[in-house]
Structure 1
Amino acid sequence: MLSPLEVYAGSRRLPIGGPRQRAILSILLINRNQISSVEEIIDKVWHGVPPSTGRTQVAICVAALRKTFRTAGCDEDVIVTVAPGYMLSTRGHRVDAEDFLERVAQAEALDREGQPERAAQVFEGALQLWRGTPLGGINVRMVEDAAVRLIEMQMSAVEKYMALRLQLGEYQALIGDLTALVQAHPLRDRLRGLLMMAQYRAGRRADALATYHDGRRHSIEELGLDMVAPLQSLHEAILREDEIALTDAGWSPRRAAAVVPAQLPSNVFAFSGRLDELRTLDSVLDQPPQGNHPVRVSFITGSPGIGKTSLAIHWAHQRAEEFPDGHLFADLGAHGYAREPESPESVLRRFLTALGHRPEQIPTGLAEATALYRTTLEGRRALIVLDDVHSFGQIRPLLPGNGQCHVLVTSRNQLEGLSDNYNALRLQLGILPLSASTAILRDVVGRDRITSNPQAARRLSELCGNLPIAVRVAAARLLGKPHWRVSDLVARLEDRDRRLDELSHGEYDIRLRFETSWRQLDPSVATAYSRLALLDEPHFDAWCAAKATELRVVEAQDLLERLVDLHLLDVVGRGEAGRFAYGFQDLLLLYARERVGRETTVATSCA
């Protein structure tokens, strides 16, 4: 019935005969399992003007239909004679219209039970039963009226199915389907409203407003009426981007279950120093969040091992209670030793799962997943920590769309897009003060061992370059060697050729940290960097660098600034001629010299 009339025995389609047989069978199907009088059949088939042979013709058509069914293998009569007419019995047979209604009822029950994913699947199966115009091509008013009722049931199911898909976050995929439906049914307000919501949720606000105005034009031209009140309210809510109004009006999809993720790694043990940096990060939260304000972003950058991740995690734990809707954390792996940087798609899937979405709910497309992520976080106050980022493009889809959330980013790279697009706070870390380095040693190793020889503790911090990761490696080595005095480790580190070996143990492998930054360099830049490391001056300017690298001064200046951007050199001031002075951190200098075979003679002198 959900197509031009068809009858099948198994997979074999049966011939039904001419228009009159098809009309009579359609009437019996509409009244299935009920008696249709011969007079009613005659009246419907001949539109109230029957021939004198009408009763005989009906009997001949019924007999032909029975023969068709028996030939197909039906032992019992499908059409039985019951005074004052005939009845089509569906016992032991299937009618697609009945299957459709049963599946729709099942889908509606699943939705009421809070199973929208399963409900959408059952709705989809129900709608797949349709193969064309129901009972099409039969010129009988009763059949045409039944077809209209079936089409209305179909459209009602379509609207419910589309609403469920909207609820499940399939915004981008829905737009094409809903656009075609609205074009075919321009006066169905529910479809138009769903299309507007899908467009708005997919970030196409202008399209949503255009869809409203197109519907208003149709309504005025064809009906002489303005848009219905619910669509007017939806239009106004989209104009204002008013999430509360969208929810109250019933158009906004239900959120995922209120899951509060808590993904922050454990707080950093023996964290010391960075008080100014912590206060700077605090300042970003001083102004109260505004729902429509751009998302707030803080960006921590600096050289390998400088403590970017430690600072981010420590601050996040300090302010965690201010983000009651959850804490998300991702290591993007820009400088991972054994893996490629994480893709935004994989991080989005983890975040959406942590926020309560089932894996099958999450769209596979990046744009659709991003839209669902931002919708889920809309109105929520969450903290997102994105660690070891490679590029702005890697994290752009991971940035929420509202100022209620706060994003904390760490990277060795510049990530210019953060400042250009989000006015991010930029915090560049330097080495620790000596007091903070010795405080870490004291907290990890124990007060007695450190304070018993404070001069050795200070010298140990200096030999670590006051680089946080190196200080922690030294502390871990002392902790694992309780029979060592601090001076024993100092003696080992005094040997410049062994220092990186002594400070490259376990997960705190300093040499590997430097190696990942080295791999980013073009071969020509890496060669020039090594030559700079062989200079006999601790600080040098572009003129001196040009001499060492055999570049023009302007080229040497560009090289130096590129190395500064990569945090492989520091700007240490200006020289006597007003030129910038550059220098290496101590351990980076050792590593750069190691790359050229630990040469003991300098490449050049600036004298």
Structure 2
Amino acid sequence: MASSLGFHILGPLEVIANNARFTITGLRQRTVLAVLLLTPDRVVSVDRLVEAVWSGTPPTTCRNQIAICVAGLRKVFQEAGCHEDVIVTAAPGYMLVSGDHRIDTVEFTARVESARQLAQDHRQLAQGQRQQGERHLARDQRTAQAASLLREALSLRRGTPFADTSSSRLQEEANLLEQQWLNAYEQYAELQLELERYSEIVSELSGLVQEQPLREHARAILMLANYRLGRRSEALGLFRQARQNSVDELGLEPGKELQELHAAMLREDPSLLSTSTASASTASTSTASASLNADLPGGSGEARLPADVPSFVSREEELASLDALLEGGPDVGSAAVGLITGGPGVGKSALAVRWAHRVAQSFPDGRFFADLTRPGDGEESVSVMLARFLRALKTPENEIPVDPRGRAELFQRSVAGRRVLVVLRGVRDLRRVQSLIPASETCCVLATSPHNHADNHPGPVQVRLRLDALDTRSAVELLDALVADHRVRWEPAAARKVVRYCDNLPLAVSAAAARLTAKAHWSVSHLLARLRDPLHRLDELSHGGPPGIRDSFDRGYSGLGPDAAALYRRLSLWDTPELDVWSGAALMNIDLSSAENLMEQLADAALLETWGRRPDGLFRYRLPSLLALHAREYADFHDLSAAGLKLPYPSAI
């Protein structure tokens, strides 16, 4: 005979005995049992039971009927084989004694609490023991255990609680239980995110988000999982759905969490990378960052190639040109090398990352990514990146040499004969990062640089691409794809002018799209009116959009010599974007030869565009409008303003 019972209330009310289900048939009996099960081992007054059964309109015989319900329940338990007192009389009502009986809500709460404690232990280990690999393993084990406990807790739900009752009081309790279950599901998804189980999150959480469209935290987790899988369009689409749902149902924009996450995705914020990637980045205070695909055989998964670029447009010819790198290095002991140059914000990194993802299967042994855009990409930073690459290849920490030369030699031995792709972003001079370039014809290197003379490489550079801004049609297409509603299509003329104010630069267009996304009540014409003011245009394109509009210009400016920097500032005072050597000579009060040298330095730094030749053979140049505004900002705080030279801002387009 059964000595214990199982009670299920996370779904239709059931009693389990000897693996058999007993359904409580009477509506009043189900209500009384449900109320008692909600607070086991605690006395429930008769008045509370009466309220639950009759919702404020009880008959005069209500107390007797409650007693009859309790007697009927006791009889059911006895017939199920349990002869112990499950429901006892205790003034001023009754109490369900849990004893050895199983109640699914009690088990649910216990598992959730245990998972919470494990997660807390994980956080404490993460704070105090960051440097030892075995401690990392202990943290991961706790996280996995916590996720497993939550999964068990979630599986206890079999449907909507109390769906087979009509009590308004129980419906309130059912709503609370549903919220607790949803909260646990979000906690479980957070742990899965930490464990980098992104595919599982997408498959498990997608249905919940569809059922609970206003559950913004769950949607944010699903967006981030898609993003880390490289499904940028799906991630951004989830935000569009959220905004539509929120506006339709509540008349409000999505909450802060979703808005900030969406803006971060548009600007490719590094903090959106995997937990291990973010930890690796945070742990290093170097001025450069590096990453390796997590699916590298034998890799640690501590970093990864940046996710593919969303809404990538145009550049098909350039992508096809880069495919020549797949033929391998031209000589034994020489990797295939490609170089993409172009001005700030023109989309060099986007092109490199898109191509790297497109050809990923051709490099099964690894895809490395090193960011050299920050100042100081010298020997020390390259050495730090080499150490990161070696760790990602599971080189034991005690076997990583301390000196840069030793690290470079070990890296070369580790990748020799393997199919490895190395993407180097923001290279100033290939000679300075030579140790990051594999000396193996089976490998490939794709570098981006703002400098036209960056190809000082001992070996041949097989593919050289000079990247220009998008044409207007492609820039409008990019704006439309990023804004993801119909505003751009409704105002095509205004959209064309907006991208022209952005100089058709993908980075600036992305900033404009982020501005429109954050301000859903703005029309494209409204943004256009704000961009017309040259005093605030760079501010407008920096507010809430991708950081880097000014930063990318600043990096080019910081590498200039004093005379070239002075010429750059003074060129902003010229009232037309078209310039020539005579312009530079007049602004600097120097001869034509010296002026040409300085202007060529600006062109090499991609801060000035070449624009053909004059009839007399002298070169013509062009200063794009955003660069002119950037140069003028420096001029206003430098020697020109100090000298009292005050001219209007560059003319609007």
Quickly name the TM-score band, shorter chain normalised.
0.5 to 0.7
State yes or no: 1:273 paired with 2:314.
yes
CA apart distance, 1:307: 1.2
For residue 451 of structure 2, give the secondary structure of its aligned residue in structure 1.
coil
Amino acid at match of 2:426: D
State yes or no: 1:369 paired with 2:415.
no
Amino acid at match of 2:369: F
State yes or no: 1:464 paired with 2:502.
yes
Amino acid at match of 1:601: L
What is the distance in 1 between the residues matched to 2:584 and 2:535? 25
State yes or no: 1:601 paired with 2:647.
yes
State yes or no: 1:358 paired with 2:396.
yes
CA apart distance, 1:603: 12
State yes or no: 1:301 paired with 2:347.
no
State yes or no: 1:323 paired with 2:369.
no
CA apart distance, 1:573: 0.9
CA contact (8 A) 2:311 2:481 kept: yes
CA contact (8 A) 1:330 1:386 kept: yes
In structure 2, runs of 5+ residues without a counterpart are: 1-295
What is the distance in 2 between the residues matched to 1:342 and 1:570? 33
What is the distance in 2 between the residues matched to 1:528 and 1:553? 13
CA apart distance, 1:593: 1.7
What is the distance in 2 between the residues matched to 1:462 and 1:421? 39
Deviation track 1:51-84 (CA, whole Å, cap 9, x = no partner) reads xxxxxxxxxxxxxxxxxxxxxxxxxxxxxxxxxx
Given the superposition, is the C-alpha separation of residues 260 and 317 from structure 1 closer, same or farther in structure 2, using an over 3 Å criterion?
farther
CA apart distance, 1:417: 5.0
CA apart distance, 1:579: 1.5
CA apart distance, 1:342: 6.2
CA contact (8 A) 2:471 2:504 kept: yes
Given the superposition, is the C-alpha separation of residues 395 and 509 from structure 1 closer, same or farther in structure 2, using an over 3 Å criterion?
closer
Q: 1:413 — aligned with what?
A: 451
Deviation track 1:27-50 (CA, whole Å, cap 9, x = no partner) reads xxxxxxxxxxxxxxxxxxxxxxxx
CA contact (8 A) 2:379 2:404 kept: no
Amino acid at match of 2:479: L
Amino acid at match of 2:594: E
What are the equivalent positions in structure 2 for 1:516-595 lying under 5 Å apart?
516-595=555-634
For residue 407 of structure 1, give the secondary structure of its aligned residue in structure 2.
strand
For residue 517 of structure 1, give the secondary structure of its aligned residue in structure 2.
helix
State yes or no: 1:400 paired with 2:441.
no
What is the distance in 2 between the residues matched to 1:478 and 1:603? 25
CA contact (8 A) 1:332 1:342 kept: no
Q: 2:325 — aligned with what?
A: 284
CA contact (8 A) 2:453 2:604 kept: no
What are the equivalent positions in structure 2 for 1:165-176 lying under 5 Å apart?
none
TM-score, length-scaled by structure 1: 0.54
Given the superposition, is the C-alpha separation of residues 602 and 444 from structure 1 closer, same or farther in structure 2, using an over 3 Å criterion?
closer
Q: 1:347 — aligned with what?
A: 385
What is the distance in 1 between the residues matched to 2:339 and 2:444? 11
For residue 300 of structure 1, give the secondary structure of its aligned residue in structure 2.
strand
Deviates most, 523-532 or 350-359? 523-532
Amino acid at match of 1:557: E
Given the superposition, is the C-alpha separation of residues 427 and 545 from structure 1 closer, same or farther in structure 2, using an over 3 Å criterion?
same
For residue 343 of structure 1, give the secondary structure of its aligned residue in structure 2.
helix
CA contact (8 A) 1:529 1:592 kept: yes
Q: 1:113 — aligned with what?
A: none
Given the superposition, is the C-alpha separation of residues 429 and 257 from structure 1 closer, same or farther in structure 2, using an over 3 Å criterion?
closer
Amino acid at match of 1:531: R
CA contact (8 A) 2:380 2:404 kept: no
What is the distance in 1 between the residues matched to 2:425 and 2:299? 23
Query: Which residue of 542, 554, 574 corresponds with 1:515?
Result: 554
What is the distance in 2 between the residues matched to 1:450 and 1:326? 40
CA apart distance, 1:403: 1.0
Q: 2:98 — aligned with what?
A: none
Given the superposition, is the C-alpha separation of residues 311 and 417 from structure 1 closer, same or farther in structure 2, using an over 3 Å criterion?
closer
CA apart distance, 1:335: 4.7
Amino acid at match of 1:368: G
CA apart distance, 1:447: 4.6
Structure 1 residue ranges (4+ consecutive) displaced by more than 6 angstroms after TM superposition: 339-342
Given the superposition, is the C-alpha separation of residues 503 and 601 from structure 1 closer, same or farther in structure 2, using an over 3 Å criterion?
same
CA apart distance, 1:444: 1.1
What is the distance in 2 between the residues matched to 1:524 and 1:390? 20
CA contact (8 A) 1:334 1:340 kept: no
| Root mean square deviation, CA, Å | 2.6
Q: 1:222 — aligned with what?
A: none
Q: 1:485 — aligned with what?
A: 523
Given the superposition, is the C-alpha separation of residues 537 and 477 from structure 1 closer, same or farther in structure 2, using an over 3 Å criterion?
closer
CA apart distance, 1:523: 2.7
Deviates most, 414-423 or 527-536? 414-423
Amino acid at match of 1:366: P
Given the superposition, is the C-alpha separation of residues 341 and 487 from structure 1 closer, same or farther in structure 2, using an over 3 Å criterion?
farther
Given the superposition, is the C-alpha separation of residues 545 and 418 from structure 1 closer, same or farther in structure 2, using an over 3 Å criterion?
closer
Given the superposition, is the C-alpha separation of residues 430 and 290 from structure 1 closer, same or farther in structure 2, using an over 3 Å criterion?
closer
Q: 1:180 — aligned with what?
A: none
CA apart distance, 1:416: 4.2
Deviates most, 298-307 or 488-497? 298-307
For residue 390 of structure 1, give the secondary structure of its aligned residue in structure 2.
coil
CA contact (8 A) 1:478 1:489 kept: yes
CA apart distance, 1:594: 2.1
CA apart distance, 1:422: 3.2
For residue 421 of structure 1, give the secondary structure of its aligned residue in structure 2.
coil
Query: Which residue of 469, 472, 487 corresponds with 1:431?
Result: 469
Given the superposition, is the C-alpha separation of residues 277 and 329 from structure 1 closer, same or farther in structure 2, using an over 3 Å criterion?
same
CA apart distance, 1:600: 5.5
CA apart distance, 1:391: 3.0
CA contact (8 A) 2:342 2:452 kept: no
Amino acid at match of 1:274: R
CA apart distance, 1:419: 4.4
For residue 298 of structure 1, give the secondary structure of its aligned residue in structure 2.
strand
Percent identical across equivalent pairs? 38
Q: 1:148 — aligned with what?
A: none
Deviates most, 289-298 or 368-377? 289-298
CA apart distance, 1:357: 0.6
Q: Which has the larger radius of gyration?
A: 1
CA apart distance, 1:568: 0.5
CA apart distance, 1:308: 1.2
State yes or no: 1:311 paired with 2:351.
yes
Given the superposition, is the C-alpha separation of residues 579 and 459 from structure 1 closer, same or farther in structure 2, using an over 3 Å criterion?
same
What is the distance in 1 between the residues matched to 2:455 and 2:400? 27
CA apart distance, 1:390: 3.4
For residue 521 of structure 1, give the secondary structure of its aligned residue in structure 2.
coil
CA apart distance, 1:540: 2.1
Query: Which residue of 423, 428, 436 corresponds with 1:390?
Result: 428
Given the superposition, is the C-alpha separation of residues 418 and 475 from structure 1 closer, same or farther in structure 2, using an over 3 Å criterion?
same
CA contact (8 A) 1:387 1:410 kept: yes
Deviates most, 525-534 or 484-493? 525-534
Amino acid at match of 1:331: D
Amino acid at match of 1:358: P
Amino acid at match of 1:385: V
Deviates most, 592-601 or 542-551? 592-601
Amino acid at match of 1:554: S
For residue 375 of structure 1, give the secondary structure of its aligned residue in structure 2.
helix
Deviation track 1:235-255 (CA, whole Å, cap 9, x = no partner) reads xxxxxxxxxxxxxxxxxxxxx
Deviation track 1:83-107 (CA, whole Å, cap 9, x = no partner) reads xxxxxxxxxxxxxxxxxxxxxxxxx
